Each structure stands twice: as C-alpha cells, then as structure tokens.
Amino acid sequence: MEDDVARVLVVIEDDADFRRLIRITLSLDGRIVLDGEAANADQAIAIARESQPKLVILDHYIDGTVMGMELAPLIKAAAPNARILLFTTHDLAIEAARQPAIDRYLRKHDLALLLPTVCDMLGLA
C-alpha cells in the first residue's frame, strides 16, 4: 500500500479558497496524499525539506518578495527528488520552459487537466 501513496506538496500564495479547490480536485484519486500546504516561500522550503515530496504544485504569485518562478530552484535544492508543477493564472509558458527546476507548467483555467497532469507526473496509470 505504501507504494501506492504519492506525496504531494501544495504551495499557494493568494488564496485559501484555491488551495481548497486543489485539495478537492486531487481527492478524487485516492492514491494521492496531500502532505502539506504553504502560503509563502519560507513555509514552502521548510515543508519541502521535512517531507521530501515527490511533487510540488507551485503558484507564481505568492506572498513575499520571492516569486514562484524563483522559488522553484530553492525547492529543488531542499527536496532534490521532487518534481515541480508550476500552476498559475498567468501565461508564463516561455519563462517556465527556460527554468530547469520547473518540470511542468499548467494554467489555472485548465483545472480539468490538473488531475491527469499530476497522475502523469507521479507515474500513476
């Protein structure tokens, strides 16, 4: 059973409501376990280091001076095995492609694609 459980860390800046929406969306698949939520960069790094997640869902606009795009390499450093999904409102396709720490990029209005993308990144059939 242990192998079936995938650990996912969610970082969302703006909005508790949106964090809840991600939680509801991912809860459809019982194999995915949300291991932590962070509202800003410091929390995100601390949780990543402690729980060593397989996947981090990262928003670009978050509280504080560090943007999600800049936070990605720091998270990679804290949790080297984590894959990072940049999940944002804004069109950052080009910027995301240029940042090696970011593995995938998805826009928030494509919410329906979130679960398939996460499953794909975690290697779940």
> Which residues form the interface with other proteins (CB under 8 A)?
14-18, 20-21, 24-25, 28, 39, 61, 63, 89, 108-109, 111-112
Closest alpha carbon to 83 in 120, 46, 37, 115: 120
**What sign for the dihedral angle of Cα 69, 97, 74, 56?**
positive
- Tokens read off for 120: 């794909």
Taking the complex as a whole, the smallest distance from the CB of residue 63 to other proteins amounts, in Å, to: 7
Q: Are 30 and 56 in contact (CB under 8 A)?
A: no
Q: Which is nearer to other proteins, 63 or 103 (CB)?
A: 63
Structure letter (DSSP) for residue 106: E
Of 56 and 87, CB closest to other proteins: 87
In whole angstroms, the minimum distance from the beta carbon of 101 to other proteins comes to: 23
| Least distance between other proteins and beta carbon 39 (Å) | 6
